[in-house]
Amino acid sequence: MSGERQPANVNAGREEKGLRQALPALVVLLVSFAYVVVFQHFQQKKILLNPPYYGTEYTVDRGSRLVPLSLGNRLWLADFFWMRSIQTFGGMYRTTRDYKPLFNLFFIISDLDPYFLEGYKFGNLAIGDEGGDQELGIKLMDRGMYKNPEKYRLPYEAAFCLVYQMEKTEKNRRRALFYINRAIKAADCPEHVKRFRDDILSMVGLHVSSARESLRGLLMGYDNKDDIYYRDIYFRRLTATVHRWQLDLLVDAAKRFKQKEGRDIQSVQELFDWGLGAEFQVLDMPLILKQIEYYRAKGEPLLPHFEEVYSKALVSRNQVPSDPRNLDKPDQPLRPYTVVRGLTSDQDGFIQSEDDVMDKVQRLLLYMRARLEEYWKKNGRLSEKFQDALPDGAEIPQEPFGGEWIYQPHVPAKPDAALDPGVIRSSTHPEL
What sign has the CA pseudo-torsion 66, 67, 73, 75? positive
Query: Residue 394: which pLDDT band, with cuts at 50, 70 and 90?
Result: confident
Q: How many CB atoms lie within 10 A of CB 415?
A: 6
pLDDT at site 1: 44
Q: What are phi and psi of 402, to 5 degrees?
A: 90, 5
Work out the burial of residue 90: count CB atoms within 10 Å of its CB; fewer than 13 is exposed, 13-18 middle, 19 or more buried.
exposed
Q: What are phi and psi of 353, to 5 degrees?
A: -70, 145
Work out the burial of residue 147: count CB atoms within 10 Å of its CB; fewer than 13 is exposed, 13-18 middle, 19 or more buried.
middle
Nearest to 251 by CA among 329, 353, 130: 353
Query: What's the rounded Cα separation, in Å, for the pair 201 and 244?
Result: 11
Query: Residue 330: which pLDDT band, with cuts at 50, 70 and 90?
Result: confident
pLDDT at site 244: 92
Q: Is the pLDDT of residue 81 over 60?
A: yes
Does 59 or 333 have the greater pLDDT score? 333
- Provide the β-strand partners of residue 338: 352
Residues 49-75 have pLDDT tens digits of 666 555 667 777 777 778 777 787 888
Residue ranges of domains in the chain: 354-426
Q: Are 282 and 314 in contact (CB under 8 A)?
A: yes
Q: Is the pLDDT of residue 48 over 80?
A: no
CA distances from 152 to 107, 141, 182 (A): 20, 11, 7
Residues 147-202 have pLDDT tens digits of 999 999 999 999 999 988 888 888 988 999 999 999 999 888 888 888 888 888 88
Residues 193-241 have pLDDT tens digits of 888 888 888 888 899 999 999 999 999 988 887 678 888 889 999 999 9
Q: Are 214 and 256 in contact (CB under 8 A)?
A: no
The C-alpha angle with vertex 265 and arms to 313 and 427, in degrees rounded to 5, equals 100
Q: Is the pLDDT of residue 302 over 80?
A: yes
Q: What are phi and psi of 274, to 5 degrees?
A: -80, -15
Nearest to 369 by CA among 428, 401, 427, 413: 413
Nearest to 241 by CA among 271, 272, 197, 279: 197
By residue count, the chain amounts to 432
